[in-house]
Structure 1
Amino acid sequence: MRRKTPITAALLAAISCLLGAAALAGEIAAQPTPEIPWPTKSWIVSSPEEQGMDSAMLARLIENVGGYKQDSVMIIRHGRIVAEAYYAPYVAGISHDLRSVTKSVVSTLTAIEIQHGLLDSVDHPVLDLFGDKNVANVDDNKRAMTVQTLLDMTSGLAWQERAYTPDETIMRMYKSPDRTKFVLDQPMSGAPGSSFYYNSGNPYVLSALITKTTGLSAFDFAKKELFGALGITSAKWGSVDAQGVTDGEAGLFLSPHDMARIGYLYLHNGVWEGKQIIPSAWVERAQEGKIAASFGFHYANLWWSLPEKGAYMARGRHSQLILVLPKLDIVAVMTGVLRDDEFYSASRFIDDITMAVKSDQPLPPDPIAKALLDAAIRRAATEQPIAIAGIPELAKEISGKTFQLGDNALHAKSFSLNFYDTDSSWVITTSTESPGRPTQRFAGLMGLDGTFRKSPPAPYGINACRGRWLNQHTFFLERRILGHGEIQTWTLAFDGGKVNVEFQNTDGAKFELHGEMQD
């Protein structure tokens, strides 16, 4: 029997490997494509390891996010929730103020207009679509402004929007009797498409365009053509303006689960349960982000992107986020109440998620890592008390007393604090400037043990408050309406029968109020 030479043996081995690989490839090709789990009714929950992710690294991510003023974080891979945490006092199921994530939803509704043929092209000149408005400051640049330039924040309209002071363009827009016309009336600062400038008037006009083409407000159109199809049931979106237009730049509330449904639609290129809801090209443009924006981000179709990280996202003030990572088959959601000078880096968030991905295939179960993740989720839901240092005698003197306030920008008329061993509470009355109902009363519980006390649900939401004495004469009250991207603080310094109040909130508002105790 002849012995095989090394070369012959190597050739035979290579042929054998090729034949085996071909057989394996045929076997893989014969396997059916896994069915996409559509979360129209509810999301499927899975362990991270079943979806190729590391539970211990997700536990660390949840702990890192918890170091900031976040309300929630959720990670979805392969259509399944692998981790979600709700940071006390916020709890699951409460619709959250999305701020500028609203803009990305308005983009999605504009895409539906295109899909249905209600809008012929994003290249349509804007002024042609609003021929009924006598627009001011019309020049060649304004005539060249298109729907696409509104979507890309490159409209060229002169605009100021930074600190939200009363003289800024956006604040003057809200005071205008016709907000859409106000935006269109602004002079041009440059040629459309030439440069990026973040302008919340752009999506306001797009919302007005939805009303013009459909006869419905953006909210009603969304309920009919988007929210219903995706199984979104938590939506709230304020009131319409004098022209019946929904605020297109902010004001939408969704629960984290419903936020994720928006991201999941984009992850699947605009398809939901086999139906093309928005054009796939719309999603591709948002993902590509051709427009160089600020702080290293790119932009397109009212979505932000970091192309070098394979990520695109809807972002809102105070850390609202819908993140899509197509190559990893991941959607992530985050909500919060961060101030403008605080932020949780989107880039870091992406990196932390990416590092937790270990495989496209299931990993072996890891009980210790899973226990770490479960503990991190429990810790997030357990409020960590702030320091307290007792209650002075002054509390007894002012408890239940009403303090009348002088004229102020908050329209606050009076307040009272009630210090009890249990169910301590606060009451604020405000002026409504309505002859039929001159004042409105707000009340709730407050925790004096360093933790928030939640009040029963009110029409405007669930109050959560906590208070503590800073010294013998100064009381500090922290108030939240859960799901609103705002924290209010009231610092009340008492001096005999008088009080000085310093009010601040996470939107940057600061006011000083003065009042006296009533007999």
Structure 2
Amino acid sequence: MRIINTAIAILFTAFSVAAGCNASAGTPEGQAPEAVWPTKSWPVSTAEEQGMDSASLARLIETVGTYRQDSLMIIRHGKIVAEAYYAPYVAGISHDLRSATKSVVSTLTAIEVQNGLLDSVDHPVVDLFADKNILNIDDNKKAMTVQSLLDMTSGIEWTEKAYTPDESIMRMYLTSDRTGFVLDQPMSGAPGAKFNYNGGNPYVLSALITKKTGQSAFDFAKKELFGPLGITSAKWGRVDAQGVTDGEAGLYLAPHDMARIGYLYLRNGMWDGKQIIPSSWVERARAGNVPATFGFHYSNLWWSLPEKGAYMALGRHSQFILVLPKLDIVAIMTGVLRDDEHYPAPRLVDDIAASVKSDTPLPSDPIAQSLLSAAIQKAATEKPSAVGVTPDLAKEISGKTFKLSDNVLRVKSFTLNFFDSDSSWEIMADSGKDQTTQRFSGLMGLDGTSRKSPPAFYGINAAKGRWLNEHTFEIERRVLGHGETQLWALTFEGDKVNVSYENTDGFKAQLHGEIGD
């Protein structure tokens, strides 16, 4: 999250690196469904074989496709019944979970408890970090427990709304000891008294994992969570100066592996005969003991809608791991939605629940199944966006290098190449290390659809461009799986260029340059 400084980090990561309780059909409470363990791969089934209606799922896939979603996957009784990937995103690419990362940190904390590494979630946090010289200690801070961190009721004074530079979350990322920064903050009230969303809480929990295990949260996860569940797509950035993995964001998982996290919770913390996390941990996440915001409840770093029998891991730009226990369903959704775009979680729950018709198989419905197949195929085909008329200016600037003055994005120059096919962009950027310059490039479509570049060490670029008028060319660019899209509007005036940059995190910048020698 870290808009200004992490806008740079995101840029260069890209460059360089009716609902559950109202439905009549479902798995009865306490009745274990047939054991299916997708450690190696997910079984696939028709919707009808799992008591769902393919036509309803087809409509859902089409509706979701009107938003800037990347994927939608629905699993019932341990089998995939619908799986759509919205172009240009494709299956198998690890996706930025954003704050859904927090729910995985919760799961790792649960493993600490299950394995006896943490004696109790009621343990006072100050005592667990007795080696730190924590500031602003008072009775409230002494009473703060691991559970209050997990419930976002720590009582720490914290601001995290628009991600402006003065907010707590932004200042945390600028410090040399982020865990210490969080623990040093004054208290605004008694722990447990009030919900206040605070990315510092899971950061401290990640630090606690490192303290208890001698490993980063990522290394601990690979051994104790990802390995047993068969998760192979995980990426989780770099550790900080203290060896701590970012606990509030930064984890990447492919949708199939996101679903494995949800399925672990659907199966009450059990995986193929082994209790990975306590069932009581799952129940607390599901119950949502803490009233939160926008009608949600919260607990153990999971959001919930108890009246709909639903709980979920949520991340910015529409990342979902949704669990519907009464319907025996896990649903996954990823996307690049702006903050002012929403596919509401209650609506998603209702739409999925409406497609459930029975606990037993339905008769085969070839027509409905063909509608579902068509919807999935339509999702995989990018719908062209509008393109403008190509001016003569395109030939004049094609292949020329424009050098940029110093800027917050550290971009030193760019070149556009306009060809009949395989048009491309190229950027030279300051890597931020030893004043070295790195070259990045990719293809761009000029027909309203994205062109994917060959895989690079940081991922797969997908970009398209269009002329807004005779002097302004706009590029829409993303790295597939990253939770943000970039828009570059380049206005050419003689030998000079002005560049307006904006991404879906809300970061904006103005760059200026001219044709180089």
- Comparing 32-41 and 286-295, the one that deviates more: 32-41
Q: Which amino acid aligns with 1:464?
A: A
> Runs of 5+ in structure 2 lacking a partner?
1-30
C-alpha distance in structure 2 between counterparts of 1:33 and 1:203, whole Å: 32
Q: Which amino acid aligns with 1:118?
A: L
Aligned counterpart, 1:112? 111
Which deviations, in whole Å up to 9, do the C-alpha atoms of 1:99-151 show, x marking residues without a partner? 00100000000000000000000000000000111011111110000000000
- Comparing 401-410 and 112-121, the one that deviates more: 401-410
> Are 2:199 and 1:220 aligned?
no
C-alpha distance in structure 2 between counterparts of 1:415 and 1:81, whole Å: 44
Q: Is the 8 A contact 2:501 2:510 kept in 1?
A: yes
> Runs of 5+ in structure 1 lacking a partner?
1-31
> Over alpha carbons, which structure has the higher Rg?
1
Superposed, which structure 2 residues align to 1:112-511 within 5 Å? 112-435=111-434, 437-511=435-509
Q: Percent identity?
A: 76
C-alpha distance in structure 1 between counterparts of 2:266 and 2:161, whole Å: 31
Which deviations, in whole Å up to 9, do the C-alpha atoms of 1:219-238 show, x marking residues without a partner? 00000000000000000000
C-alpha distance in structure 2 between counterparts of 1:248 and 1:34, whole Å: 33
Structure 1 residue 442 displacement after superposition: 1.2
Which deviations, in whole Å up to 9, do the C-alpha atoms of 1:209-261 show, x marking residues without a partner? 00000001000000000000000000000000000000000000000000000
Which deviations, in whole Å up to 9, do the C-alpha atoms of 1:327-359 show, x marking residues without a partner? 000000000000111111110000000000000
- TM (norm. structure 2) is 0.93
SS in structure 2 of the partner of residue 195 of structure 1? coil
C-alpha distance in structure 2 between counterparts of 1:127 and 1:478, whole Å: 47
C-alpha distance in structure 2 between counterparts of 1:190 and 1:49, whole Å: 52
C-alpha distance in structure 1 between counterparts of 2:168 and 2:361, whole Å: 52
Q: Which amino acid aligns with 1:42?
A: S
Q: Which amino acid aligns with 2:308?
A: K
Structure 1 residue 155 displacement after superposition: 0.3
C-alpha distance in structure 2 between counterparts of 1:161 and 1:342, whole Å: 19
Aligned counterpart, 1:513? 511
> Are 2:74 and 1:48 aligned?
no
SS in structure 2 of the partner of residue 100 of structure 1? helix
Q: Which amino acid aligns with 2:470?
A: Q
Q: Is the 8 A contact 2:42 2:78 kept in 1?
A: yes
Q: Which has the higher contact order (CA 8 A, sep 6+)?
A: 2
C-alpha distance in structure 1 between counterparts of 2:33 and 2:164, whole Å: 52
C-alpha distance in structure 2 between counterparts of 1:180 and 1:422, whole Å: 50
Structure 1 residue 33 displacement after superposition: 7.6
Q: Which amino acid aligns with 1:469?
A: W
Structure 1 residue 408 displacement after superposition: 1.3
Q: Is the 8 A contact 2:34 2:77 kept in 1?
A: no
Which deviations, in whole Å up to 9, do the C-alpha atoms of 1:467-510 show, x marking residues without a partner? 01111111010001000000000001110011111000000001
C-alpha distance in structure 2 between counterparts of 1:292 and 1:60, whole Å: 33
C-alpha distance in structure 1 between counterparts of 2:457 and 2:197, whole Å: 33
SS in structure 2 of the partner of residue 354 of structure 1? helix
Structure 1 residue 34 displacement after superposition: 6.0
SS in structure 2 of the partner of residue 335 of structure 1? strand
C-alpha distance in structure 2 between counterparts of 1:317 and 1:433, whole Å: 27
- TM (norm. structure 1) is 0.93
Which deviations, in whole Å up to 9, do the C-alpha atoms of 1:266-297 show, x marking residues without a partner? 00100000110000000000000010000000
- Comparing 58-67 and 425-434, the one that deviates more: 425-434
SS in structure 1 of the partner of residue 173 of structure 2? helix
SS in structure 2 of the partner of residue 40 of structure 1? coil
Structure 1 residue 165 displacement after superposition: 1.1
C-alpha distance in structure 1 between counterparts of 2:417 and 2:364, whole Å: 52
Q: Which amino acid aligns with 2:440?
A: F
Runs of 4+ in 1 over 6 A off after TM superposition: none
C-alpha distance in structure 1 between counterparts of 2:33 and 2:108, whole Å: 29
Q: Which amino acid aligns with 1:449?
A: D
Q: Which amino acid aligns with 1:340?
A: D
- Comparing 203-212 and 509-518, the one that deviates more: 509-518
Q: Which amino acid aligns with 1:132?
A: D
Q: Which amino acid aligns with 2:412?
A: K
Aligned counterpart, 1:7? none
Which deviations, in whole Å up to 9, do the C-alpha atoms of 1:392-448 show, x marking residues without a partner? 11011111111111121111111110101111110112212322x522221101011
SS in structure 1 of the partner of residue 339 of structure 2? coil
Q: Is the 8 A contact 2:33 2:77 kept in 1?
A: no
- Comparing 437-446 and 328-337, the one that deviates more: 437-446
Q: Which amino acid aligns with 1:54?
A: D
Which deviations, in whole Å up to 9, do the C-alpha atoms of 1:349-407 show, x marking residues without a partner? 00000000000000001111111000000000000001113311101111111111112
C-alpha distance in structure 2 between counterparts of 1:35 and 1:181, whole Å: 47
Aligned counterpart, 1:21? none
Q: Is the 8 A contact 2:405 2:412 kept in 1?
A: yes
Aligned counterpart, 2:90? 91
